[in-house]
Amino acid sequence: MDVVLRKAKMADVRLIHRMLMDCASKRLLLPRSYTEIYSHLRDFIVAEYLDLSEVVGCCALSITWEGLAEVRSLVVTEGARGQGIGRRLVEACISDALTFGIYKVFVLTYQVDFFRKLGFQEVSKDILPQKVWADCIKCPQFPECDEVALMLEL
Ligand SMILES: CC(C)(COP(=O)(O)OP(=O)(O)OC[C@H]1O[C@@H](n2cnc3c(N)ncnc32)[C@H](O)[C@@H]1OP(=O)(O)O)[C@@H](O)C(=O)NCCC(=O)NCCS
């Protein structure tokens, strides 16, 4: 089935929330509230089955600091996995980063091998103080976070 990637719209918010909460309940990623999704909606890209107009994945690029952005909220629905959609979503975020003149993209994740395949390399969270002090300290898992930080230098 053909898949298109596009910027997220208001009508996608409930589904984005459901996809993220479903994965959060399995501890695959951190939950995001409706407020966070609405306020960061411009960061989101969704993947859609062209013929069905069915959204099957999402990903967001969040600008963190000068020259630095984070890939967040990456989900592909279970039935749509293994077709390269996750890769395309991350690549779209990377391309977005480049258009902003951002050359470092990081992720905090449990899917280390997936991101390694896309060229990301493991780094210490110590090199991401802007992320730690802006977001991590508000996270219930702080400071016992077991997500792995990976960085891609473009
Ligand atoms: C991780 C996830 C986004 C991958 O999506 P996907 O569409 O199945 O991935 P793709 O088909 O694009 O896979 C790209 C490559 O990564 C590999 N891959 C996919 N998932 C992988 C995983 N969990 N671990 C290691 N490799 C993985 C694929 O085999 C493929 O390799 P290839 O290029 O050699 O063929 C999806 O499994 C998912 O939504 N998981 C739950 C949510 C989650 O963990 N999100 C990450 C939050 S940071």
CA of 136 to the centre of ligand 1 (A): 24
Q: State pTM to two decimals.
A: 0.96
Note whether 117 and 150 are within 8 A (CB).
Answer: no
Pocket of ligand 1, beta carbon within 6 A: 23, 28-29, 74-76, 81-87, 107, 109, 111, 113-114, 117
Residue among 49, 55, 71, 87 whose CB has most ligand 1 atoms within 8 A, to mutate: 87
Question: Which CATH number does the domain housing residue 93 bear?
Answer: 3.40.630.30
Q: What is the chain's length?
A: 154
**Rounded Cα distance, 14 and 24, in Å:** 15
Spell out the per-residue pLDDT of the chain, length 154, in tens. 899 999 999 999 999 999 999 999 998 998 899 999 999 999 999 999 998 889 999 999 999 999 999 999 999 999 999 999 999 999 999 999 999 999 999 999 999 999 999 999 999 998 998 887 778 877 878 888 889 999 999 9
Going by DSSP bridges, is the β-strand pair 148-153/121-122 parallel, antiparallel, or unpaired?
antiparallel
Query: How many domains, the chain?
Result: 1
Q: Which domain holds residue 134?
A: 3-153
